[in-house]
Chains A and B, each alone.
Chain A
Amino acid sequence: MIVLDHVTKTYHTVDGPRRVLDDVSVAIPTDRNIGILGGNGSGKSTLLRIIARAEAPTRGRVYSNVRISWPMAFSGGFDGKLSALDNIRFVSRIYGADWRRVAADVEAFAELGGYLRMPVRTFSSGMRARLSVALSLAIRFDVYLIDEIPGVGDARFQKRFGRAFAALREQACMILVSHRVQSINRFCDMAYLLRDGRLRAFDDVPSAIEAYQAL
């Protein structure tokens, strides 16, 4: 369970303060896959960073009794100059995991072969995505925070994410943030709609999508 208790987030922009999250109180279950729908710039990524505790709310608190991943962006999050192995070492160290064990797990799932020792900037977007999923999978979290899944089309998706994503879904739950209804529809069991700083819960995905498309 992840609990947001009166969470408000305000950014100072050139146009003055902008309230991205407005007094959000919600208990997010962590025994199923959660989708968060919202338009571009609605504050989805901010919400994800606050859940991950990568960012502090302006007001309010976040509680949880589960191990939560960092907010995963499949395109980035790695230092392109460093090899995949160096990136694996860094992430393992900050989570206090044994990097040899993590590297072995990543090798098993990312299907990267000899590329593990190459700089990440030489990777295709699919390889980056597989590295990202496999690494977070190897660190072992209860809940994975995912900021948009690119290219959900079937054959292509399998090629990009391979076995890693299937293993992730088998092992844990995810909170998926997206502005595309297809990914939410395909992967999530319930959904929230983020709009004007407010979070509205829907027990079933189709009604969330309906409300989102009505906006």
Chain B
Amino acid sequence: MRPSPTGTELPRPLAGAVLVQARVVRALVLREIQARYGRGDIGYLWALVEPLMLLGVFLLLFTFTGRRSHAGMELVPFLGTGIIVFLSLRDMVRAVSSAVEANRGLLLYPQVTPFDAIVARSVLQVATFLVVFLVITGGAVLLGYASLPADPFGVLVALLAAAGLGVALGLLQQALTMLLPILDHAQRVLWRVLMFTSCVFFTMKDLPIAAQEATAYNPIAHVIEQLRAAYFIAYETPIDGYGYVLAWILAASTFGLLMERSTRDRTKAQ
């Protein structure tokens, strides 16, 4: 019938290969968005509704105890920063760690690799996180529940650190559950514990010294503390810099990616 428009296509120069991967990642991202909207439930809105509901519950609890602010921070942005970062991190870890498994059927297309599935979900979750943060804090500012951030650049850095941590922890969890599947159950319990130990609805400074030292091992607490320190003039965190978070990001993503690399052959096979 018609002749094929392209002859040989497979041995490509590096630039071509990068282009193909970009094409694949874009296609995966768009596909995932379609899949979430097409399910008939509220799809993406849930990313916004869940933190808002939790924020509402904690606001009620705090106002019942007669508080208008917490350590000089307005309640809505104080709770909002903690809740949005925490829930987004949890969703990021879930989405990234299950990326390969969820897209296994697509690995039959030669240009789709497990790494693309991970990149696509990371892009999508980070974008969702940033949008949710922008919409909720922006809304709170417009409605007069929050002032503008004191140090917008510092806020951006903290958000990006949170995003990096989420992706890295997702890679780590994927690698760990591959080694030891029972850890998939353990992580559910772990997230419940983390909810109460990550400075979501209190600050590091509220804690006694011994508890502060223990909490300082939790990298999620670090990014939430840094975010608040950048957002509010009134808050100074005992956390010193991003060194610890960065170490987590590097160690977790290196381990996760090495595991992905070493098992890629098997992943593609099934």
Q: Is there an interface contact between B109 and A91, defined as CB atoms closer than 8 Å?
A: yes
* Stretch in contact with the other chain, from A34-42, A79-87, A182-190: A79-87
A93 touching B35 by the CB < 8 A rule?
no
Tally chain B residues at the interface, Cβ within 8 Å.
33
Chain A residues near B268 (CB, 8 Å)? 49, 54-56
> Which A residues touch B35, using CB under 8 A?
79, 81-82, 86
B69 at interface (Cβ–Cβ under 8 A)? no
Residues of chain B within 8 A of A77, CB atoms compared = 105, 108
A67 beta carbon closer than 8 Å to chain B: yes
Tell whether, in the assembled complex, residue A54 and residue B7 are in contact, meaning their CB atoms are under 8 Å apart: no
Q: Is the CB of A167 within 8 A of B109?
A: no
Q: Which residues of B contact A68 (CB under 8 A)?
A: 10
A94 close to B111 (CB less than 8 A): yes
Contact A171 B7 (CB under 8 A): no
**A68 and B108 alpha carbons, distance in the complex (Å):** 13
Complex Cα distance, B27 from A90, in Å, reads 6
**A70 neighbours in B (Cβ, 8 Å):** 108-110
Instruction: Annotate A116-157 by CB proximity to B: 1 below 8 A, 0 otherwise.
Output: 000100000000000000000000111000000000000000
Instruction: Tell me whether A19 is interfacial, beta carbon within 8 Å.
Output: no
Residue of B nearest to A46 (CB): B269
Give CA–CA (A91, B31) in the complex, Å.
Answer: 10
How far does the alpha carbon of A77 sit from the alpha carbon of B104 in the complex, in Å? Answer: 10
Q: Is A94 a contact partner of B27 (Cβ separation < 8 A)?
A: yes
Q: Shortest Cβ distance from B101 into chain A, in angstroms? A: 14
Q: Counting CB contacts under 8 A, is B38 at the interface?
A: yes
How many whole Å from A145's CB to the nearest CB in chain B?
10
Whole-angstrom CA separation of A12 from B269 in the bound complex: 11
Q: Which residues of A156-190 have CB atoms within 8 Å of chain B's CB atoms?
A: 167, 170-172
**Which of A12, A52, A76, A93 makes the CB contact (< 8 A) with B27?**
A93
How many angstroms between the C-alpha atoms of A194 and B269 in the bound complex?
19
- For B1, what are the chain A residues with a Cβ–Cβ distance below 8 Å? 167, 170-171
Query: A129 CA to B251 CA in the complex, in Å?
Result: 46
Contact, CB under 8 Å: B34 / A86: yes
In the complex, the answer to whether B4 meets A142 with C-beta atoms within 8 Å is yes
A56 touches B265 (CB 8 A): yes
0/1 interface trace, chain A 67-103, chain B, CB 8 Å (1 if under)? 1101101001101011100100111011110000000
| 8 A Cβ contacts from B151-168 to A | none
Say how far B105's CB is from chain A's closest CB, in angstroms. Answer: 7
State A36–B205 Cα separation when bound (angstroms). 70
Distance between Cα atoms of A54 and B265 in the complex (Å): 10
Shortest beta-carbon distance from A100 to chain B in Å: 15
A213 contacts partner chain B, Cβ-Cβ < 8 Å: no
Give 20 A-B contacts (CB < 8 Å), ordered by A residue.
A49-B268, A52-B110, A64-B8, A71-B108, A79-B31, A79-B35, A82-B31, A82-B38, A86-B38, A90-B27, A90-B30, A90-B106, A91-B109, A93-B24, A93-B26, A93-B27, A94-B23, A94-B24, A94-B27, A171-B1
Q: Which 5 A-B pairs have the closest CB atoms?
A: A93-B27, A171-B1, A53-B110, A54-B110, A65-B8
Q: Add 5 more A-B contacts to A82-B34, A93-B24 (CB < 8 A).
A: A54-B108, A54-B268, A82-B38, A93-B23, A94-B109
